[in-house]
Amino acid sequence: MDNLISLWASSGLAQIQLGQLVMMAVGLTLLFLAISKGFEPLLLVPIGFGTILANIPGAGFDAAPVYDAFGHMESPGGLLYYIYSAGIETGLFPLVIFMGVGAMTDFGALLANPKTLLLGAAAQVGIFTTVLGAVTLSHFGILDFSIRDAASIGIIGGADGPTAIFVTSKLSPDLLGAIAVAAYSYMALVPIIQPPIMRALTTPAERQIKMEQLRPVSKAERIVFPLTLLVLVAMLLPDAAPLLGMFCFGNLMKECGVVNRLSDTTQNALINIVTIFLGLGVGSKMSAEKFLNPETMGILALGAVAFCIGTASGVLMAKLMNSMSTNKVNPLIGAAGVSAVPMAARVANKVGLEANPQNFLLMHAMGPNVAGVIGSAVAAGVMINLVSGM
């Protein structure tokens, strides 16, 4: 009879709290969005599943291990605890992902037209105005964000998942769940968020601008570029060195052509393994107390604002560049500067084709697209530096 009571007492039904139930529903919703709607499934399937696991009452997925006085393990920790403390708290998983992303990135379009780096810079305005928005909300007592929280929320506008996770895990680990979910959700929503803004800020004539064909790029340029970027980062912005260093390492492995087996593994087995565990680990931060509060609604709203401002800034920067140069760029590719690789570049191409069915912008948009990755990594570095000293 005692055993029956013990079984019942340990069952989920006896222990569950409303918050956990709601969070399970949140996890199921994320899975639904990922599977049925195609929202960044590579991350949102593990995050959604991790959310459910972390909220099973009594399962101990995020329990820390218990040691006795002599250092012997009395009870082991939960799977999600180990994943989070080994891979996310240390920053290792986002860095390994960034290495993999580097090994999958083609800088050809950027090298053929380096001016597009400016579009990738402009689109980061979304990050910093959102920081300002977050502190303003906090100043007026509407929501409660510290400057560290605000910086982490701003980085959603970088439209780059691993960068957002890296910054948030350093500055505001409690917001990790909400910020990661917002970042990946809005990246998936890029085809819905961006086109209206792009159309509102451009004339049909501008959208029809044909850009000259990109020059071919030599193998040597492709090899030297990641090293050039690395040295520049090392000299000027060491705070951005972890993210951009691993990014350049991955890209060098891909381009140098002599370590193809390492590059292949980085792009496949390694990034896949780390993606699974990164997602589960992020899910472990999706607890009711951290997610079910007004701040999360604020984060979602501010994240959307960040994407919109970033998109607008990129487009306006392209128009500014056109006003100062005879070599016109189609302002639509400015929107690709937010990153969200390669979705934002495809959106630019699609909106461009609507204006002129012969005008293929995809390759041109890849330049600002990868520039946006560099831009938000730089923004992440400067933010970690400044905020840590505040």
Partner 1 sequence: MDSILISQGLDLLLYGMGTVFTFLTLLVGVTSAMSALVNRVAPDEVEAMVSAPGQASALEPRLTHIIQAAIDQHRGRK
Given the rule CB under 5 A, which residues bind Na ion? Answer: 158-160, 339, 372, 376
The smaller minimum CB distance to partner 1, of residues 213 and 326, is found at 213
Site for partner 1 in 137-176 (CB under 8 A): 138-141, 146-147, 150-151, 154
What is the rounded distance in angstroms from the CA atom of residue 103 to the CA atom of residue 97? 10
Q: Which of 17, 29, 66, 76 binds a second copy (CB under 8 A)?
A: 76
- Residue 42 CA, chain-centre distance (Å), reads 12
Closest CA to 51 of 192, 184, 151: 184
- Residue 258 CA, chain-centre distance (Å), reads 30
Sign of CA dihedral 89, 93, 97, 100: positive
> Is residue 186 within 8 Å of 295, Cβ to Cβ?
no
What is the rounded distance in angstroms from the CA atom of residue 126 to the CA atom of residue 104? 26
- Phi first, then psi, for residue 340 (nearest 5°) are 50, 50
The smaller minimum CB distance to partner 1, of residues 70 and 140, is found at 140
Token output for 156: 């959603």
The entry of partner 1, a second copy, Na ion, none that residue 147 binds, CB within 5 to 8 Å by partner kind: partner 1
The entry of partner 1, Na ion, a second copy, none that residue 216 binds, CB within 5 to 8 Å by partner kind: partner 1
Our finding on whether 359 is near partner 1 (CB under 8 A) is no
> Whats the size of the chain, residue-wise?
390
Q: Which of 147, 217, 276, 320 binds a second copy (CB under 8 A)?
A: 276
Token output for 298: 């604020």
Q: Which stretch binds partner 1 (CB under 8 A): 23-31, 74-82, 127-135, 271-279?
A: 127-135
Q: Which of 26, 30, 62, 77 binds a second copy (CB under 8 A)?
A: 77
Q: Give 82's contacts (C-beta < 8 A, 6+ positions apart).
A: none
Site for partner 1 in 274-293 (CB under 8 A): none
Q: Which amino acid is present at 390?
A: M
The entry of partner 1, Na ion, a second copy, none that residue 174 binds, CB within 5 to 8 Å by partner kind: none
Site for a second copy in 85-104 (CB under 8 A): 89-92, 95
Our finding on whether 106 is near partner 1 (CB under 8 A) is yes
What is the rounded distance in angstroms from the CA atom of residue 160 to the CA atom of residue 351? 22
Q: Which of 23, 47, 99, 131 binds partner 1 (CB under 8 A)?
A: 131
Site for partner 1 in 191-230 (CB under 8 A): 214, 216-221, 224-225, 228-229
| Other Cβ atoms closer than 10 A to 1 | 5
Closest CA to 107 of 226, 267, 245: 226
Chain residues in the site for partner 1 (CB under 8 A): 3-4, 7, 106, 108-112, 114-115, 117-118, 120-122, 124-125, 127-129, 131-132, 134-136, 138-141, 146-147, 150-151, 154, 214, 216-221, 224-225, 228-229, 232, 236-237, 257, 260, 263-264, 363, 371, 374-375, 378-379, 382-383, 386-387, 390
